[in-house]
């Protein structure tokens, strides 16, 4: 049935959002499946040391961090599809290199190649090209859910696949997932009619300086760096701890991660609801950082039995999932009007740099100080993060919108300033070359229809 008001996504938009969510999910599965198994199975590789295992865990983050924004800019010039397809091919090639390697350096090179297929920015830009304004947030949420789900699935099937087929089988399966992603792009994802220059989903040079000088955005960038650093370092130590101290065979680790992830998803939901409804997300953020810090100290003091480790993993995942879900939302709230895409680009780069640093740090600490050194290193990183985060202001509870403007509206002098004077409007900017208004507003005080009436009245 036709929807005249455009309240629901049409078939083309649904195909685009679903197809691109699948591409993200398959690619992130390939990234994450290595996490719970490389520290235990990787020690059998020729030349392997804990420090080099850590480098292999974090290596993909280095190339992801340095190539993500540049490849997003390239996609603006030559098109999204070539960048996405070549990126998936490079990811598949990296997986095959790692699968055929019998030395740790071969796996490290394969992981570096995997990271070079940095397609996140191009995928988000293509999603903007294929969806209407009113459905873009919904479509991006679908991709966000696919990433979260792929992380959960990877934690479970990574140990199962590696137990059955070894590390080479695991890497060959990630290559297969990249090929499936290519097929999804070729046969499911629609072709865009045009390339949209969109500041909510892509990096804008004009917004870069403002983003890099924004103190609260920098605090959030430090946060995602620390969070993924702690994740990578912890997952060098925890699989080893389950074997050495919990006496759990490495091919049975999947049930620990499955149980912990399922329970942690339910445990974090009340805190998200409380933070959003009561508008106290800063307090929720600080509480979760403290929980992460205490969790690492708990592993240091009490992580000597299987029961203690399983309990610790549950608490760790509750804090991690809560922070992983909260931080992008805070970036969206805090970023200036028209700066969300740029802010998310810098944020994602910080995330991948954190993954690389965490893997390297965890490997080095384990080689020189054992499991205790990794736990204390992660606790120190969490404490440093808390010191940065505690000075952050409570974020504004606003929604970011991009509203196309008519020629008459574009001709209005000072439209953005007029709108900023309205109750509920936190920030606004008119971008003439896009014929669009970017605005951040409190939807409890001003809805989209009222905003459009205000724009019409100003013309």
Residue 185 pLDDT exceeds 50: yes
Highest mean pLDDT of the ranges 386-395, 404-413, 448-457: 386-395
Residue-level pLDDT at 201: 67
- CATH code, residues 206-397: 1.20.1250.20
pLDDT in tens, 72-89: 889 888 989 999 999 999
**11-188 sits in which CATH class?**
mainly alpha
- pLDDT category at 340 given cuts 50, 70, 90 is confident
- Of the candidates 185, 147, 131, 18, the one whose C-alpha atom is nearest the C-alpha of residue 402 is 131
With beta carbons less than 8 A apart as the criterion, state whether 117 and 82 touch: no
Average pLDDT over every residue of 99-125: 94
Domain ranges of the chain: 11-188, 206-397, 399-458
Calpha distance 330→286 (Å, rounded): 13
Residue-level pLDDT at 257: 94
Element (DSSP H or E) covering residue 289:
helix 281-302
With beta carbons less than 8 A apart as the criterion, state whether 216 and 393 touch: yes
Q: 260 CB contacts (<8 Å, ≥6 apart)? A: 310, 313, 314, 316, 317
Question: Would strands 425-431 and 436-441 be described as parallel, antiparallel, or unpaired?
Answer: antiparallel
With beta carbons less than 8 A apart as the criterion, state whether 300 and 250 touch: no
With beta carbons less than 8 A apart as the criterion, state whether 409 and 415 touch: yes
With beta carbons less than 8 A apart as the criterion, state whether 240 and 137 touch: no
Average pLDDT over every residue of 305-319: 96
Residue-level pLDDT at 9: 84
Calpha distance 2→354 (Å, rounded): 46
Average pLDDT over every residue of 389-404: 89
Fold of 399-458: Alpha-Beta Plaits (3.30.70)
| Fold equal for 206-397 and 399-458 | no
- pLDDT category at 7 given cuts 50, 70, 90 is low
């Amino acid at each position: 049935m036709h929807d005249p008001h455009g309240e629901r996504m049409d078939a083309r938009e649904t195909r685009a959002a679903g197809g691109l969510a699948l591409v993200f999910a398959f690619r992130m599965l390939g990234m994450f499946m290595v996490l719970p198994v490389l520290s235990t199975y990787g020690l059998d590789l020729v030349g392997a040391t804990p420090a080099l295992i850590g480098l292999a865990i974090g290596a993909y983050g280095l190339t992801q961090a340095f190539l993500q924004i540049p490849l997003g800019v390239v996609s603006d010039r030559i098109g999204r599809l070539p960048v996405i397809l070549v990126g998936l091919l490079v990811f598949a090639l990296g997986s095959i290199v790692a699968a055929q390697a019998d030395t740790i350096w071969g796996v490290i090179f394969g992981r570096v190649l995997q990271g070079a297929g940095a397609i996140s920015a191009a995928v988000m830009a293509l999603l903007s090209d294929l969806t209407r304004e009113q459905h873009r947030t919904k479509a991006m949420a679908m991709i966000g859910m696919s990433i979260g789900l792929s992380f959960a699935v990877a934690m479970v099937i990574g140990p199962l696949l590696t137990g059955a087929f070894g590390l080479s089988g695991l890497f060959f399966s990630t290559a297969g997932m990249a090929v499936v992603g290519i097929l999804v792009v070729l046969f499911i994802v629609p072709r865009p009619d045009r390339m949209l220059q969109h500041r909510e989903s892509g990096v804008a040079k004009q917004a870069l300086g403002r983003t890099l000088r924004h103190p609260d955005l920098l605090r959030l960038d430090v946060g995602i760096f620390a969070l993924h650093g702690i994740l990578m370092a912890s997952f060098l130590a925890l699989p080893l701890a389950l074997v050495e101290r919990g006496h759990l065979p490495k091919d049975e680790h999947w049930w620990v991660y499955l149980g912990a992830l399922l329970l942690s998803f339910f445990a974090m939901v009340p805190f998200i609801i409380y933070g959003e409804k009561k508008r106290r997300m800063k307090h929720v953020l600080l509480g979760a950082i403290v929980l992460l810090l205490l969790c690492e100290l708990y592993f240091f003091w009490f992580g000597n039995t299987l029961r203690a480790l399983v309990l610790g993993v549950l608490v760790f995942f509750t804090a991690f999932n809560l922070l992983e879900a909260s931080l992008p939302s805070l970036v969206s709230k805090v970023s200036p009007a028209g700066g969300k895409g740029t802010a998310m680009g810098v944020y994602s780069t910080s995330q991948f740099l954190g993954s690389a640093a965490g893997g390297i740090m965890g490997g080095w600490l384990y080689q020189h100080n054992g499991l205790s050194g990794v736990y204390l290193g992660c606790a120190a990183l969490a404490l440093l993060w808390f010191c940065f985060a505690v000075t952050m202001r409570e974020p504004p509870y606003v929604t970011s919108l991009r509203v196309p403007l008519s020629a008459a509206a574009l001709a209005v002098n000072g439209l953005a300033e007029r709108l900023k004077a309205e109750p509920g409007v936190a920030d606004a900017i008119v971008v003439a070359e896009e014929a669009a208004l970017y605005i951040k507003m409190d939807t409890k005080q001003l809805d989209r229809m009222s905003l459009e009436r205000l724009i019409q009245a100003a013309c």
